[in-house]
Amino acid sequence: MKGTKMGRNKQAVNHRPTHDTEREFGGTLGAVCIPVFLPLTVLFLIGVSQSPEASVFQWPPKLPSTDQLWDPLAPMLLLGWIGLHALLYFMPFGKVSEGLALRDGTRLKYPINGFHSLCVSAVLLMVLLGLRAPLGFLFELLVPLAVSAIAVSFLFSIYLYVRSFLVPSHALALGGDTGNPLYDFFIGRELNPRIGNFDLKYFCELRPGLIGWVVINLGMLMKEVELRGSPSLSMILVNCFQLLYVADALWNEEAVLTTMDIVHDGFGFMLVFGDLAWVPFTYSLQASFLVVHPQTLSLLKAAVIVALNGVGYYIFRKSNSQKNQFRRDPTHPSVSGLETIATATGKRLLVSGWWGLVRHPNYLGDLLMALAWSLPCGFSHLLPYFYVIYFTILLIHREARDERQCKAKYGLAWDTYCRRVPYRIFPYIY
């Protein structure tokens, strides 16, 4: 068994995706176009969400004017925020966990204190609110903040690309060392870049951007209070749903250590921009939309939306926890009774329970929640549905990537699993 595994690893180490067809996200073309197109999309969407028409079909697309792009306060706030979270990373709270074994056999250690960082951030925000700090000003500052986050993403990715030439080859991501500088810059060369004990990828995954997202939401709520005296039910729902999602991610921070992002993907522009710019500034679009486009929501509709979010959250949490528990300890009573199939790697695959319903029950739950976040914004505009549309595309693409990796890892056993559980995300549909 060991020999087979080592053989597989050796093969993988030697395998560099040298052809564009083997590369992800459209290869070189994607690596050139995405870093131009996505930052412009962020600025466009913020502009649309704050405009009275809020039309995504406006042609030519309305981008913010140059004088709206810059405010010296924005980079100061952004860098201060990232610096604060870097300090909180070293707080001596929470446990220290080990990641999966790397190709050289070692395991990295990670502080599990993201939830503590969220709590400290919440206390600081409460203090600021108590001091009557104008948090609603984040609404005016959104575009300059997004511009700063985009600039930081580019500069940081250049740093990551350059430093990746100083590390040994076993520290590089398997798919990120193609020799094509544009693609490698985009997809990420180094797997786990660290400065001392500070893990740059792990830090960015769940902290400044994710917590920043709910802070922006709070800023939008405070803007509504400034404009209309009190927050609307729609705004409260959007804030609560998304806070629950972020708090859940940080409460279960350890689970990120086994995700594709940490285990497989290099740290380059794709993840940096996603973590620091895309997530906080596009996931908060519903809240910024509601500031300019207030909605009335009946209690009955609100109850239906809360129930939808609850069902989505239940499926999402239960399925993720089931798999994490199974991977950590397959003999645990909560998973030991489930039906599984053996694979040549020694690991087993669940074929009953949540993972017997569809091959990605966690994506199904996530998508139901995404829909629940859009519904409080009514049906008059498409923009608030941007997240659920984009997220469906992202998860379908992510599912295909994961499927390819699982097929490569588990071979025939994966085929058997696919026959036993034919649907990928939506039962009887897809």
Residues that bind ligand NDP (CB under 6 A): 259-260, 316, 320, 323, 326-327, 347, 349-350, 355, 360, 362-363, 366, 398, 402, 405-406, 417
Nearer to ligand NDP, 134 or 422 (CB): 422
Query: What are φ and ψ of residue 297, in 5° steps?
Result: -130, 125
Cis peptide upstream of residue 181 (ω within 30 degrees of 0): no
Q: Which structure tokens are listed for 21?
A: 């067809």
- For residue 406, the minimal CB distance to ligand NDP (Å) is 5
For residue 164, the number of C-alpha atoms closer than 13 Å in the C-beta half-sphere is 29
In this structure, are residues 371 and 363 in contact, taking their beta carbons and an 8 Å threshold? no
Nearer to ligand NDP, 41 or 405 (CB): 405
- For residue 124, the minimal CB distance to ligand NDP (Å) is 24
In this structure, are residues 235 and 102 in contact, taking their beta carbons and an 8 Å threshold? no
- For residue 316, the minimal CB distance to ligand NDP (Å) is 6
Q: Residue 199: beta bridge partners?
A: 194
267, 173, 170, 250: which is closest to 212 by C-alpha? 250
- For residue 428, the minimal CB distance to ligand NDP (Å) is 18
Scan for tokens 């998860």, then name that residue. 395
Residue 90 DSSP symbol: T
**How many other C-beta atoms can be found within 10 angstroms of the C-beta atom of residue 128?**
13
Please, which residues have CB within 8 angstroms of residue 222's CB and are 6 or more apart in sequence?
A: 129, 134, 135, 136, 138
Distance CA 281, CA 367 (A): 19
Nearer to ligand NDP, 76 or 408 (CB): 408
- For residue 263, the minimal CB distance to ligand NDP (Å) is 8
- For residue 240, the minimal CB distance to ligand NDP (Å) is 17
- For residue 231, the minimal CB distance to ligand NDP (Å) is 24
Distance CA 63, CA 56 (A): 11
- For residue 38, the minimal CB distance to ligand NDP (Å) is 14
- For residue 338, the minimal CB distance to ligand NDP (Å) is 9
In this structure, are residues 413 and 342 in contact, taking their beta carbons and an 8 Å threshold? yes
Pairing mode of beta strands 340-342, 95-98: unpaired
**Amino acid type, 270:** M
Nearer to ligand NDP, 28 or 345 (CB): 345
Nearer to ligand NDP, 114 or 136 (CB): 114
- For residue 259, the minimal CB distance to ligand NDP (Å) is 4
Distance between alpha carbon 270 and the CA centroid of its chain, in Å?
11
Nearer to ligand NDP, 177 or 366 (CB): 366
Please, which residues have CB within 8 angstroms of residue 217's CB and are 6 or more apart in sequence?
A: 238, 239, 242, 243, 284, 287
Nearer to ligand NDP, 194 or 409 (CB): 409
Nearer to ligand NDP, 250 or 297 (CB): 250
Torsion angle, CA of 253/254/260/265, rounded to 10 degrees? 80
Nearer to ligand NDP, 163 or 327 (CB): 327
Distance CA 127, CA 132 (A): 9
- For residue 421, the minimal CB distance to ligand NDP (Å) is 7
Nearer to ligand NDP, 162 or 389 (CB): 389
Nearer to ligand NDP, 116 or 323 (CB): 323
Distance CA 392, CA 251 (A): 24
155-165 as b/e: b if 16+ CB within 10 A: ebbeebbeebe
**How many other C-beta atoms can be found within 10 angstroms of the C-beta atom of residue 79?**
12
Query: What are φ and ψ of residue 108, in 5° steps?
Result: -90, 155
